[in-house]
A and B are shown apart, each in its own frame.
Chain A
């Protein structure tokens, strides 16, 4: 029997498609979801590349990446900050590690685009 495996970089493809939707500026949930998917695309690709089991903690994956490549770990870390802001914080502004994740009532599109840029860097440099 063939074991099927989902390629996690598909999450980044999805995020890229979402960010070009014409109504994204009116849709904070969409922007938050883009940020979330960018993080998980990178996190899961790294975890798979490192051969770590599926129950590995985020922290452990980060440390293993940092052991091998501090730049990739830095990208993962930044995406984690944005993802955390997007997933858990509903009131504006929230500051995580000094970064103002929200400046206004809604999430800003440029933060989502940043996440896509970082995720693209991370995945291209990880190959």
Chain B
């Protein structure tokens, strides 16, 4: 990860009119992508009394793909708009490529944004849409058409060049929106719920396409999404947000396997939550569950202090085991075969429900409703323990 100059020790004049280099002069549009790092420092935004973004620090390396993941209203879109310069934060600084851009309007930041609705100009053809940003920069026609042609082939839309947006499918519109943004060689690519408007089938294709482009061009990318699978599959790192704050920043494995807060454990993936009492057991730990039974684990993380805790166990971390000491007695209530796996819902003896995912090994016979079974942790499963 690149080390960023501390922008609080600012050598350059903060007045944007005296800023020595304008972003759009940095790179010839459409030819080279000079990926820039992005630094957010103590960024806070308030709408009246409501704080939408609270004290966010975030360091994004050049060429990195970051996903801002969170439920609607968590402030992720506000944060994206602040980076884009579509709105100005109440407090804090945004640094792109080593310069503080707080005072720069969006057209001078070099941050390209693809909107959820794509925002294609309805009265312009695909070509004119892609050409737009270049025209706005006053680039000569010859250069422009070369870049437009390159962009059209980049997103494989050559044969639709003369169509109007409403003659295109959702996926095609998104390609055009992407090409339009990439044509101006932004230093940072911002994606606002980019796949939200697409059918499920189309979505996967476009996700692969965007990831491919991002890799090829090596462009720093920030994507806002509420879809955890999208974030887990595409991003290098994920910032999980809730109520304006970054709950956890980490790689997809970190987020999924080592959630640092109960919110993250709950929001990302499916989690069974049990309350219980944590106790040290030599090298290991044991948790006496309120629902009966005891779980034995190698490590208690992030909380390892004895006392009352909440344990988060993923459905795939549980396995069926013979009834006996060390297992949780449960009754099968429902089994849903979901293609390659089977999701079972079981009831513990105190009535709490547990979800378990099993590989579909053929015999669904043992999963009939009413079957009594024991549940055990699969060996080495990294369950997350939180202070209650």
Chain A partners chain B: no
